[in-house]
Amino acid sequence: MSNQRQTPPCILSAWHTHEGELQHWLLRQLGQPDRAADALHDIFLKALSQDLAFCNIENPRAWLFQVARNYLVDSYRKSRTHIDLADMPETELVHEGKTDAPLVDDLTQCLPRILPELSTDDSHILRCCDIDGMPLQQYADENKLTLPATKSRIQRARKRLREQMILKCQVKIDDTGRVRCFVPRKNNQ
């Protein structure tokens, strides 16, 4: 008699039903067939680890796709390279000619002058969410907006803020998106 467990039929049925769609989605997300195949394998193993509890899942397709999304987030986090700021060259961290404060801290001199020049809606959402740290869902609820509308609104506001910072504070951004230098505006400009 064998000690091997049989795969519950509910897992095999759900897997055969959704495997193709899941594989196609993973391939679109990852762009590499080998990585998509590895992800698909790991997701199947996760389903197997549920054993008979998988049979109680109300929507197996949604469960499999949620596991896939979590897998992608985890793999992205693991693949990101972290750089300790103490190990970075000083020239990467500070404005030319200054060694006492990071450039981004200096850039805050420009923000109070630019923010009031934006539309009321733009400055309001930027102040609430980006400066004061209000969650987007809370902002949406308080302003009678949907969450997708709020996300679109803040992205547009950030884009307009960036354009104004580049134009009016002469912010220079390198190819990697890092601020390299800027010219602080005088109060009357």
Least confident range from 23-32, 53-62, 177-186: namely: 177-186
Domain with 133 in it: what CATH number?
A: 1.10.10.10
Tell me: do 72 and 110 sit in the same domain.
no
Number of domains in the chain: 2
Q: How confident is the model at residue 130 (pLDDT cuts 50, 70, 90)?
A: confident
Tokens of 164: 């104004």
Please check whether residue 22 lies inside any domain of the structure: yes
pLDDT, average across residues 68-80? 77
C-alpha span between 105 and 85 (Å, rounded): 15
> What is the mean pLDDT of the segment spanning 51-58?
85
Same domain, 29 and 74: yes
89 in any annotated domain: no
Domain that holds residue 107: 102-181
Answer whether residue 85 is part of any domain: no
48, 61, 123 from 179: Cα distances, Å: 48, 43, 21
Q: Is the pLDDT of residue 83 over 80?
A: no
Structure tokens at 167: 């134009």
Q: Which residues, other chains included, contact 126 with Cβ-Cβ below 8 Å and sequence gap of 6+?
A: 115, 118, 154, 157, 158, 161
Instruction: Compute CA 158 distance to the chain's CA centroid, rounded to the nearest angstrom.
Output: 15
Does 96 reside within a domain? no
Give SS3 for 135.
Answer: coil
